[in-house]
Amino acid sequence: MFVSELHVTKINKKHMKKLSILLACSFSFIMIQAQLNYPVTKKVNQVDNYHGVSVADPYRWLEDDHSDDTKAWVKAQNEVTFKYLSQIPYREGFKKRIEKLSNYAKFSSPQRKGEWFYFYKNDGLQNQSVLYRQKGINGAPELVLNPNILSPDGTTRLIGFVLNKDGRYAAWGISKGGSDWQEYYVRDMQTGMDMGDTLSWVKVSGIAWKGNGFYYSRYPAPEKGKELSTKNENHQVWYHLVGTKQTDDKLIYDDPKNPQRFHGVSTTDDERFAFLNISDRGKGLDGNAILFSDQQAADKSFKPIIAEPGNFRYSIVDNIGSDLLIETNENAQNGKLMKVSSYHPEKANWKTILPEKSEPLTSVSSVGGKLFANYLKDVTSRIYVYDFEGKLQSEVKLPSLGNAGGFGGEQSDPFTFYTFSTFNYPATIFKYDIATGSSTVFQKPELQFDPADYTVEQVFYSSKDQTKIPMFLVYKKGLKKDGKNPTILYGYGGFNISSTPAFSAALIPWMEQGGIYAVANLRGGAEYGEKWHEAGMKLKKQNVFDDFIAAGEFLISKKYTSTNFLAIRGGSNGGLLVGAVMNQRPDLMKVTIAQVGVMDMLRFQKFTIGWNWIADYGSSDNKEEFEAQYKYSPLHNIRAGTKYPATLITTADHDDRVVPAHSFKYAATLQEKNASKNPTVIRIDTNSGHGASNTAKNIETTADIYSFILFNMGIVPKF
């Protein structure tokens, strides 16, 4: 509410208190805006030629994250940003409220290995979840690994813990400071002691046990000092024997002639089969190849099921003796499950187990002698149980429309676990009895608020080309549609990823202040299968932006909000989304939150694993794809003299997925060209990566985002 909206003809103590708060906030707003003095960002004479088009890149020097000039620029920008944020009167109030509501115990689904059940638990505000195990389903928990003690600031994460077949050994991995680089170690689970094995430069890798060792994937060690920005090439598969040095590991597979391929090995639970998965997204191919090795065969070399990567995806589900279960979208855009004989793997011999349905098949798992198939219907889960011949047995009845996942285990298990959640239903673990088909609550969180106080609504609206787009809206019951509700519109729209309903306690403080949280299910994702994905890729990327713009227009037309109270937010590919949309429609929103975004569409492929995104985005090396990218690239479409909304850009020093140079160059350009007095500030976190590296950093960032949004909307929250 603005001061000008107050009627003060009848002043009482309550009105005086409210007026004083509003006056204080209004004064703070004027003073903070007036004090914004951005650092001077030097320019260089850098011009690149793309297919005959000259493109200036005056802030190219910011790509060198280790130079003294870049470090000085980062320091100066952070000083401006954190001074701005620190003067918002209710910033600390948001932080404390998020902390309070997030302070409840959170559990993962248990995973059985022999007589032991392993699970993760976070007591509430621990920076990292802790790994425990217990003997039997009702046994006393005992500590296995506590990553919170691995670094002083709690930014070292446990990113993998994989037991071998009999549970004697575990390979466990960490990442430091939010980086995608991983280190792996080996622990003897009988003694609880690590064995001295240390594996470095692991990335884009699983752990696949075979005998007394395991397969893993890594890159050659990068140049010292450029670990977080150098292009990652020549992905290799190695085999490590427990109790040996990494220098003794055996190279299983590499392909120097195709340096931008990913290679990974998985094994079946019985360790009979090993599968080599190969993808080549750097060449724009969205599918993969699969080769297999049968350990019972005389010739144990890898033989092709699919010899070369193409545009179809193949995923191994399990084996039934010598037969393999493979999930694929080949000639089935919504996915299907096939049975393949390892003796005769030619496609002519494949048998359909689960045919394609009208809804996309998001996953299949095999446990307790059954198949559990997860389908997505209008962005909510449907779980069906089948036998191994594809005969429907039952449907798993879920509490409501929402998102379910899990259903893991071994063929001898009599039960399995799954987790269900939606925006107003916290992640709850259910135990599913396979024989009876019944579900019972196994672990339910105890909250300090009632999620039932909040409404989840799903709406459908028309995009520019009249395609119907689904969107979830979450808000407190009793909300009035008067166009004055502060609204965060979130989107992603890419990489075949669905934005499914999920619970977050951090959303409650936003909705307590009368806020709406909207999630638009844009094309480019997987909400309606591969056709939905393809409709937002490469030359069709503009569809994603049109979908998001139409979402904002819908919210305004239905008076959920209005331009002065709309904020758009997205991260990574979603950061690209909000950057492009703000350029195209700066009049649509009041605030933009662009997080770890892909902002330079002409050079993303030159850093770390950015070339992996060519399959979705295309490449500036291709003339037609360059022309499409150049039209929407957030960095290259900021127009001098245009009045842009208040913008908060976030990134981190250890983001080696979308390197911070994207955000650096974008912030410098927007500060230079923005004709409005609205702030353009960049928040650069330390010891963090593509996502917040610990709980504390996540809470701090969320509080800053909420504060920035409401402050620039002129709204004073109540705590």
61 and 1 share one domain? no
Answer yes or no: is 206 within a domain.
Answer: no
391 and 515 share one domain? no
- Closest C-alpha to 159, from 168, 171, 149: 171
pLDDT at residue 7, rounded to an integer? 34
pLDDT at residue 19, rounded to an integer? 53
pLDDT at residue 33, rounded to an integer? 61
504 and 617 share one domain? yes
562 and 649 share one domain? yes
Answer yes or no: is 343 within a domain.
Answer: no
Query: Helices 573-584 and 623-632, interaxial angle, to 10°?
Result: 70
Answer yes or no: is 693 within a domain.
Answer: yes
pLDDT at residue 655, rounded to an integer? 87
User: What does the alpha-carbon distance between residue 253 and residue 151 come to, in Å, rounded to a whole number?
Assistant: 34
HEC string for 427-474: EEEEEEECCCCEEEEEECCCCCCCHHHEEEEEEEEECCCCCEEEEEEE
User: What does the alpha-carbon distance between residue 294 and residue 271 come to, in Å, rounded to a whole number?
Assistant: 9
461 and 518 share one domain? yes
Question: DSSP string of 80-101?
Answer: HHHHHHHTSTTHHHHHHHHHHH
| Amino acid in the structure at residue 142 | E
| Domain stop point among 86, 114, 143 | 143
Q: Which of 463, 690, 693, 707 is flagged as catalytic?
A: 690
Answer yes or no: is 305 within a domain.
Answer: no
Which segments of the chain have a pLDDT < 70? 1-35
| Domain stop point among 143, 168, 201 | 143
Q: How far apart are the first and last CA of the chain?
A: 16
pLDDT at residue 64, rounded to an integer? 94
**Token code pair at residue 718:** 């109540």
Sign of CA dihedral 618, 619, 622, 625: positive
Answer yes or no: is 352 within a domain.
Answer: no
663 and 540 share one domain? yes
572 and 703 share one domain? yes
| Domain stop point among 412, 446, 480 | 446
- Closest C-alpha to 368, from 431, 317, 417, 415: 415
Q: Which residues contact 384 (CB under 8 A, 6 or more apart)?
A: 372, 373, 375, 392, 394, 395, 396
Q: Which residues contact 612 (CB under 8 A, 6 or more apart)?
A: 260, 262, 281, 282
Q: What is the pTM of this model?
A: 0.94
Q: Within a 10 A sphere around the Cβ of 230, how many other Cβ atoms?
A: 16
587 and 687 share one domain? yes
HEC string for 153-190: CCCEEEEEEEECCCCCEEEEEEEECCCCCEEEEEEECC
Active site residue 572: yes
Cα–Cα distance list, 601 to 132, 182, 216, 633, 674 (Å): 43, 27, 31, 5, 20
136 and 46 share one domain? no
Q: Could you tell me how many residues make up the chain?
A: 719
Q: Within a 10 A sphere around the Cβ of 700, how many other Cβ atoms?
A: 20
384: β partners: 373, 395
Q: Which of 293, 381, 572, 633 is flagged as catalytic?
A: 572
User: What does the alpha-carbon distance between residue 449 and residue 297 come to, in Å, rounded to a whole number?
Assistant: 59
369 and 410 share one domain? yes
Answer yes or no: is 226 within a domain.
Answer: no
Domain housing 486: 36-100+449-713
**Token code pair at residue 539:** 């030359």
**Token code pair at residue 540:** 């069709």
9 and 75 share one domain? no
CATH of the domain at 463: 3.40.50.1820
CA 508 from centre of chain: 21
Cα–Cα distance list, 371 to 386, 407, 442 (Å): 5, 9, 22
Answer yes or no: is 349 within a domain.
Answer: no
Q: How many domains does the chain have?
A: 4
Answer yes or no: is 25 within a domain.
Answer: yes
24 and 64 share one domain? no
Active site residue 690: yes
CB 344 within 8 Å of CB 320: no
pLDDT at residue 8, rounded to an integer? 34
pLDDT at residue 564, rounded to an integer? 98
198: β partners: 185
pLDDT at residue 66, rounded to an integer? 87
